Structure 1
Amino acid sequence: MLEVADIASPTVSPDGRSVAFRMERASVARNTYDTAWYVQGLGDPSPRRVADGGVPLRDSAGESLPPKVVWSPDSRWIFYRALVDGKIAVWRAAADGSSAQPITHDAADVRDFTLGDNGRVLRYSVGATREQVRVAERAEYDQGIHIDESVPIGQGLFRSGFVGGRMATQRFSKVWFDRLPLLADVPDRWTEIDLATGEGKTIEASAISSAPLPTPGKAGVDGDAWKSVREPHGNRVAWLTRTGDRGDQQQRPDVLLSALPRAHASRAVRCLSALCTGKAITAIQWRPGHDEALFTVTDPRRGLAQSILQWNVQTGDVHEVVSGGGLINGGRDPSWNCGVSAEALVCVTATADRPPRVESVDLESGKRRVLFDPNAALARDMSAVAPARLLQWQDKQGQWFSGQFYSARRGSDRPTPLFVTYYSCPGFVRGGVGDEWPLASLAQAGISALCINRRPGYTMDAVKRYGQGMAAVEGAVDRLARDGEIDRARVGMGGLSFGAEVTMWTLTNSHLLAAASVATPVLSPFYYVIGSIKGKAFRKGLRNLWGLGSPAETPQRWRALSPTFQLERIRAPVLFQHAEQEYMYALDYEIPLIREHRADLYVFPNEPHQKFQPRHKLAVYNRNLDWFRFWLQGYEDDDPAKAEQYVRWRAMRERLKSARSR
């Protein structure tokens, strides 16, 4: 499960005959990830490996970034960014697999690139050099790091986070708790390389700037701007805008699809078909050489299953091209697009129990063909051992929810325990958001598992937001217990980020849970003190998203939202497995629980919000499996290496029994 092959960025060649994509796979033995670029003819039985993809680049939260790949106009080469030997450069690989080499040899890491002059030149941007960044890091190490609103206190201050494949010193960006390396504010410096001669020259950023897209409002489009895309080799633009009454939501709830019908049109047309109104449209792109915009619907009622449809902007006709039970897109993120040519889509497809593979889809007939399936063996195992099924239900208020349910193997007619994780469950579900709870392994071990999708939108009132999550869990437990599938007295829950918040809320506001596992900190006075170093931006975020001022300003609200003030209401044992960058935010409520033998805490060095090091992820998987088997089944693994954890957990169990008897 951990070493599943992920596929990203399928991109069709200009001649429409081939597709390039990158495959990424974890290696626990080497605690790293292997990536490779492949090219496959759309009629060929298998792909060619054309180049090493280097170390995957990640955002500051730990998620793998979508790799950018650009074809040469003659379809003979692919260009891509790769981190190899500590340097981020632009590489060029022959589509026939005969060669791959770096094109840039800059002292700084490449930030972005593009081809120009019909593929004759490469233009790329860089910031500060690698040596300048290291010198800046060492200088503040020697002189002392001045603490201001940009410094992420609560983690190691010197080279404590992975940036560009190495341990680097970080600073807060302007976006919440996102992080950047030192000197990230150095402006872009652009260089142009003649691909025939290899000669380079400095150019102005204006030389690569494309004409700005017209704003939807100027084209007569209603709503708040969200997404836009220009027609390849043309001037038409398609938009997604958010419309409807915002109410208590962060964003307006509906999506409007509009486009300019002709190259020089000044007014947009709207998609008015029932197939594109009132739908959860999440992505758009143009069909090359045609009057059709392709759009993706990610249906929350169908467990975030996707469909791709075509809208003819001239005639208004809409028809479905393809629909499935999971993701049909460009990788793990539901918003990523398939590759597209005039005749076909090339997509990464995945369902809850079928890992990613590459498929082509004929745009006229909708016929699907599997091009590459690197996870075929795992798919067979999942089908045999832990098949998933879509579960749909309503809570007591009539709100609907969906999730992916993995029914446990039963050794008797007795209902099984249940593990629940809440947040988002698109595509191939490994362990909920963050991939921390091995759902299939839990089911194989006799614990049914359910991954619940939150409702669309983001409710601004935190009490209502958390209450919706808890109501979803209550409704699912009621449904499954009523059907005789699970034992409501043996329910566990885990979550990361918003899922962690809902887990802690459910712990403190219900009697549903027999055990819990939480991957990230939630609101607490420590969280406030550490975060307040960011100043006004942090305080504004707290006020907008949680209705909180400081603990002194809004004490009642803090008592309602933070577990720090509700420790006596936590009746189930809690396993905390945190990233080093975040764990200190939670110590004011976790230390009392640990001292009272009500919780266990593990911290993973050098990890961000979402842990990504393969050995750490394996340790998290195994410990969560052990934890819930212990509390929900009374099972202990006889591995001597695990003896110490069971000593602690047995002591916790005795303490909880004693507390309940009083």
Structure 2
Amino acid sequence: MVSPVFCLRFVAALWCALLPTTAWSRCEQALPGDDSIRPAARDLTAADLIELREIGDPDSASFSGPSPFALSPDGSRIAYIVNRADLATNSYCRVVVVSGLTGKGPPRVVDRGGALITILDVQRGHYLPSGATRTIVPVWSPDGRRIAYLRRDASVTQGWVAEADGSGARAVTHAAVDVEAVAWSSDGSRLLYGTRKGTADTEAALDREGQSGWLYDRRVSPEISARPLMPATDLLDTNAVDLRTGAILPADPADQAALAQAAPADMPVEPMAVGPDGSKALLERQDSSPLAPARLVVTGGLGRQRCDAEACAGGILSLWWQGDSVLFLRREGWAKEAMALYRWQPGGAPPAVIFRTTDVLHGCVMAGIELVCTREDSSTPRKVVAINTVTGATRTIFDPNPEFASVRLGPVRRLKWRNDLGLEAWGDLVLPPGYTPGTRLPMVVVQYHSDGFLRGGTGNEYPIFLLAQRGIAVLSTERPSFFAAAFPQLKTWYDINAANQKDWGERRSLLSSVLAGVHMAVEQGYADPKRVGITGLSDGATTVAFALINSKAFAAAALSSCCMEPNTTATYGGIAWAEWLRGMGYPPATHDNPAFWRDMSLARNATRVDTPLLMQLADNEFRLALEAFGALHEQNKPVEMYVYPDEYHVKWQPIHRRAVYARTLDWFSFWLQDREDPDVAKAPQYARWRALRSGSPPTLPPKPTR
């Protein structure tokens, strides 16, 4: 290892990053090895799903985040980060790689190591940890020789710089708090970095306040912690590092502007593209409702031109200029199940389709005449591909999971239906390998998006193909559009949420859609109507609770978050959440409103809800489930709850995901197939579940004696 003092002494002759000062972590399997030898077909394992190599946001239904790809200044290469969970260490392997856009061969690794970086959600003006993976986008230096990016070690995120040829990487910033964004100065001599404005001072103030007790106010979300949450801000404290000397310099206005452009946005930003002559392609809504279709408009040298074609209204995800034409990627078709790439020349003919697919494309960036994206389908994990924007031809740049080609999966069939409001919806029916047509199977519903590779539903907790491998059909559902879309007069998301909430309109619409999909699977002879289960996280979990109260369609259920209850919502959610709910029509804590809670509260319906219910919850959310669990348990109903430490809304730890997968498989096999795993280590589990099935009361401790 080279001494930093040595680097400083000879900095005029050689930049220190050329001599790496940190060793790479042991992540040899972060990229695939030689895939020229294909093993024989084999069954899927939980590790196959958990340890998939991921590029960008693993949530296939998320289309509003940044692209994971950074195009080099000369347009010949892309840089991106590959994440892979490691069950052996309960951590993640992360590699920064560079792929050439011409020729063949695996990507070049330019750095290995660092912990997973997760998203902080902004809720009611404060940051809440979510557990979801944050997409870290590398940034090329102006000369294309170096790459800057964020890396997290020892619980702090810093700015790093790697040589694009793979000859070394090092930490450049040494901030006391997390670095949120990095960028380059215009000449490439300084790395610009930003931290959330006032973070260190706010944390120190909270520590001081804690010495005399934290005031319980709108800052506190007690289901997470007694410590007040950090206030959200878009402002950054900005600095610059001189890469020759390591000196920390104040950022000038140009530096601040460059860094602000690179900083992550707390809210989704509408797509916009600037043409060679300065013309802008952007989206405009026909009225002020956020649910109104956004139409493609061009402004600039030729004035304002609106695209009046149907393809130009709604569903547009991304925009690019190519010469005098605008290219745009759009979700369309039945309940937006398809994606299409269009070309439109302002003032000319209607847009022409270049490429259309029911696969899912993410993170597309323009590179010459090609669009570089990730691509996946229901049975195929994400790959890096290039789409020719003239011919629509596609080619694979990099397959991060070639081993998956040897895994044996069952067939997937797309079902389409309407709910009782006439809203379009669809689902993917996954059948066991070797399925015999005409066989009715137990079936589990997984919610609430079904885009892309069918891994585990929203939140990735319910292993779809592993359930199918056990002989259970799975209906992976895509939710219909909002119930409130029928009210174009609504002008804010708050009003839309309130309309969805009124008389449980959105809940009824979603349950109707789920039941319509189940009915179709039964009607077509795939599912046994007496052996149907349902699962859900977040909004999907609320649908599960509503379904258990308002239908008798399900023989078993599992939740990953829980619950909306009369006392819990006004207490463990905190003051700010209680205020927000009251604004949408929820009754206050001091007003017992049985009519309001009749259709939603598991606790209020505990005497009549008999569906076996498994809860597997994060430790920072489980308090919200105590009212429902306590009432069901008190009524001797078949309910069991597990709490996972150091977890959030989306569970991030690989070993916890493995445990959730395993228990989910056992739960539905037990209740829908009457099967038990013979593993002796699981004997206590099955003893409890048999007692739940028989209705035996819980065993009480002996009465204490004096």
Q: Under a length normalisation based on structure 1, what TM-score does the superposition of the two structures give?
A: 0.84
Equivalent residues in 2 for 1:418-457, closer than 5 Å: 418-457=443-482
Counterpart for residue 92 of structure 2: 33
Match for residue 103 of structure 2 among 44, 60, 70:
44
Contact 2:366 2:372 in 1 (8 A): yes
CA change 1:259–1:66 in 2 (3 A) is farther
Match for residue 609 of structure 2 among 565, 570, 574:
570
After superposition, give the CA deviation of every residue in 1:412-441 in whole Å (9 maximum; x if it has no partner): 954100100222122112111111111100
Equivalent residues in 2 for 1:170-209, closer than 5 Å: 171=229, 173=231, 188-203=236-251, 208-209=256-257
| Aligned partner of residue 51 in structure 1, secondary structure | strand
Larger mean Cα displacement after TM superposition, 355-364 or 421-430: 421-430
Larger mean Cα displacement after TM superposition, 344-353 or 73-82: 73-82
Equivalent residues in 2 for 1:311-350, closer than 5 Å: 311-313=344-346, 315=348, 318-330=351-363, 338-350=364-376
In the TM superposition, residue 629 of structure 1 has moved relative to its aligned partner by 0.5
| Aligned partner of residue 599 in structure 2, secondary structure | helix
Contact 1:91 1:101 in 2 (8 A): yes
Residue 20, structure 1, aligned to residue 45, structure 2? no
Larger mean Cα displacement after TM superposition, 104-113 or 435-444: 104-113
In the TM superposition, residue 302 of structure 1 has moved relative to its aligned partner by 6.2
Contact 2:545 2:602 in 1 (8 A): yes
Residue 269, structure 1, aligned to residue 305, structure 2? yes
Residue 63, structure 1, aligned to residue 89, structure 2? no
Contact 1:308 1:321 in 2 (8 A): yes
Match for residue 499 of structure 1 among 529, 536, 540:
540
Question: What letter is aligned with 2:372?
Answer: V
- Percent of residue pairs bearing the same amino acid type: 28
Q: Distance in 1 between matches of 2:199 and 2:599?
A: 47
Q: Distance in 1 between matches of 2:671 and 2:296?
A: 49
Contact 2:224 2:621 in 1 (8 A): yes
Equivalent residues in 2 for 1:343-492, closer than 5 Å: 343-381=369-407, 384-409=408-433, 410=435, 414-457=439-482, 459=484, 460-462=499-501, 463-492=504-533
Contact 1:526 1:588 in 2 (8 A): yes
Contact 1:423 1:433 in 2 (8 A): yes
Contact 2:198 2:237 in 1 (8 A): no
Gaps of 5+ in 1: 158-168, 175-184, 214-224, 331-337, 658-662
CA change 1:233–1:620 in 2 (3 A) is farther
Q: Distance in 1 between matches of 2:336 and 2:676?
A: 34
In the TM superposition, residue 70 of structure 1 has moved relative to its aligned partner by 1.4
CA change 1:212–1:593 in 2 (3 A) is closer
Counterpart for residue 163 of structure 1: none
CA change 1:303–1:380 in 2 (3 A) is farther
In the TM superposition, residue 305 of structure 1 has moved relative to its aligned partner by 3.5
CA change 1:285–1:486 in 2 (3 A) is same
Gaps of 5+ in 2: 1-48, 57-67, 120-128, 262-267, 485-498, 698-706
In the TM superposition, residue 588 of structure 1 has moved relative to its aligned partner by 1.3
Match for residue 4 of structure 1 among 28, 52, 57:
52
Contact 2:240 2:248 in 1 (8 A): yes
After superposition, give the CA deviation of every residue in 1:533-581 in whole Å (9 maximum; x if it has no partner): 334x64234433x554446175422333322222233121100111111
In the TM superposition, residue 144 of structure 1 has moved relative to its aligned partner by 3.8
In the TM superposition, residue 592 of structure 1 has moved relative to its aligned partner by 2.0
Question: What letter is aligned with 2:318?
Answer: I
In the TM superposition, residue 88 of structure 1 has moved relative to its aligned partner by 1.7
Contact 2:193 2:259 in 1 (8 A): no
Counterpart for residue 641 of structure 2: 601
After superposition, give the CA deviation of every residue in 1:307-360 in whole Å (9 maximum; x if it has no partner): 232333464652333332221112xxxxxxx12223211111111111011111
Contact 2:438 2:526 in 1 (8 A): no
In the TM superposition, residue 207 of structure 1 has moved relative to its aligned partner by 5.1
Q: Distance in 1 between matches of 2:477 and 2:333?
A: 11
Residue 122, structure 1, aligned to residue 194, structure 2? no
| Aligned partner of residue 564 in structure 2, secondary structure | coil
Q: Distance in 1 between matches of 2:362 and 2:80?
A: 12
Question: What letter is aligned with 2:542?
Answer: E
Question: What letter is aligned with 2:632?
Answer: L
Counterpart for residue 551 of structure 2: 510
After superposition, give the CA deviation of every residue in 1:370-402 in whole Å (9 maximum; x if it has no partner): 111121222441xx3223232212335543211
| Aligned partner of residue 193 in structure 1, secondary structure | strand
In the TM superposition, residue 92 of structure 1 has moved relative to its aligned partner by 1.6
Residue 54, structure 1, aligned to residue 114, structure 2? yes
After superposition, give the CA deviation of every residue in 1:96-155 in whole Å (9 maximum; x if it has no partner): 211212222333331222223243433221247997677566555654443222122123
After superposition, give the CA deviation of every residue in 1:486-536 in whole Å (9 maximum; x if it has no partner): 10100000001110111111111111000000111121123322256334x
CA change 1:489–1:532 in 2 (3 A) is closer
Counterpart for residue 702 of structure 2: none
Counterpart for residue 291 of structure 1: 324
Question: What letter is aligned with 2:137?
Answer: K
Q: Distance in 1 between matches of 2:277 and 2:592?
A: 55
CA change 1:568–1:108 in 2 (3 A) is closer
Question: What letter is aligned with 1:227?
Answer: E
Counterpart for residue 629 of structure 2: 590
Q: Distance in 1 between matches of 2:477 and 2:643?
A: 26
Q: Under a length normalisation based on structure 2, what TM-score does the superposition of the two structures give?
A: 0.79
Contact 2:379 2:409 in 1 (8 A): no
Task: Kindly tell me the number of residue pairs found equivalent between the two proteins.
Answer: 604
In the TM superposition, residue 304 of structure 1 has moved relative to its aligned partner by 3.5
Q: Distance in 2 between matches of 1:317 and 1:300?
A: 18
Question: What letter is aligned with 2:341?
Answer: I
| Aligned partner of residue 78 in structure 2, secondary structure | strand
Question: What letter is aligned with 1:566?
Answer: N
Counterpart for residue 282 of structure 2: 239
Question: What letter is aligned with 2:360?
Answer: L
CA change 1:476–1:126 in 2 (3 A) is closer
Q: Distance in 1 between matches of 2:307 and 2:551?
A: 45
CA change 1:504–1:273 in 2 (3 A) is same
Residue 108, structure 1, aligned to residue 199, structure 2? no
Contact 1:424 1:452 in 2 (8 A): yes
Larger mean Cα displacement after TM superposition, 191-200 or 569-578: 191-200
Q: Distance in 2 between matches of 1:298 and 1:328?
A: 10
In the TM superposition, residue 260 of structure 1 has moved relative to its aligned partner by 1.9
Contact 1:258 1:269 in 2 (8 A): yes
Larger mean Cα displacement after TM superposition, 447-456 or 358-367: 358-367
Structure 1 runs of 4+ off > 6 angstroms? 128-134, 210-213
In the TM superposition, residue 624 of structure 1 has moved relative to its aligned partner by 0.6
